[in-house]
Amino acid sequence: MGPYTITYFGVRGRCGALRIMMADQGQEWKEILMDFADWTKGDLKASCVFGQLPKFEDGGLVLYQSNAILRHLGRNHDAYGKDGKEAARIDMMCDGVEDLRLKYGKMIYQEYDTGKDQYIKDLPNHLDKFEAVMAKNKTGFLVGDKPSFADYSLFEVLLNHLVLCSSCLDTSPSLKSFVEKMSARPKIKAFLGSDAYKKLPINGNGKPVIILNKEG
């Protein structure tokens, strides 16, 4: 396996879950940071299958599409269920997270100022679905009894939502405990505390804007 290389912009964005997953799996990887001025020259874009980043290399295998990369890591690191049925349910949950990711991205990039408050109001309707699956499985993971790539994707999207709205998990006890337990896994804790992680903004447009309270 590997060496793994990620080529991406200097944000967490579409690589947040991948990086957390690789860190938790004890996998090292190399980062190639693409600055936007170089990207607009177009050479790399023209070489990318869908004209977008991230680009992921595993030895000679070159992949695009963050969820395909997550699935590849799932296969490589035994994080894709114990059989075909678990794998199918993990796929389903990852696609559910993707739907939430797209709604979040639309709000962040297209309607932050006009749509953020309504987005936060509607959020329980979306989080409830994940809460129900998590509560029903009882292991602390979405499917099976160890983390799958769908758990890493959900975890990362929940971290981003907590930055948007720090109380958003207060009515979702299973998700709250999931985030606490994932955050406390030693390799995740070390990664989330690293400069490499902390220096990167969540999104490419500086949103969400964090307003500190008077004491903060």
**Interacting residues toward ligand 6SG by CB under 6 A:** 9, 11, 13-14, 36, 45, 52-54, 65-67, 204-205
First to last CA, the chain: 45
The answer to whether 130 and 140 have CB atoms below 8 angstroms apart is no
Helix (H) or strand (E) holding 97: helix 84-110
C-beta closer to ligand 6SG: residue 42 or 173: 42
Q: Nearest approach, Cβ of 156 to ligand 6SG (angstroms)?
A: 13
C-beta closer to ligand 6SG: residue 86 or 98: 98
C-beta closer to ligand 6SG: residue 25 or 65: 65
Nearest residue relative to ligand 6SG (C-beta):
204
Q: Nearest approach, Cβ of 2 to ligand 6SG (angstroms)?
A: 19
Q: Nearest approach, Cβ of 214 to ligand 6SG (angstroms)?
A: 31
- Range 171-208 burial, b when 16+ CB lie within 10 A, else e: ebebbbebbeebeebeebeebeeeeebeebebbeeebb
What's the rounded Cα separation, in Å, for the pair 126 and 174? 14
Amino acid residing at 181? K
The answer to whether 2 and 58 have CB atoms below 8 angstroms apart is yes
C-beta closer to ligand 6SG: residue 45 or 116: 45
Q: Nearest approach, Cβ of 4 to ligand 6SG (angstroms)?
A: 16
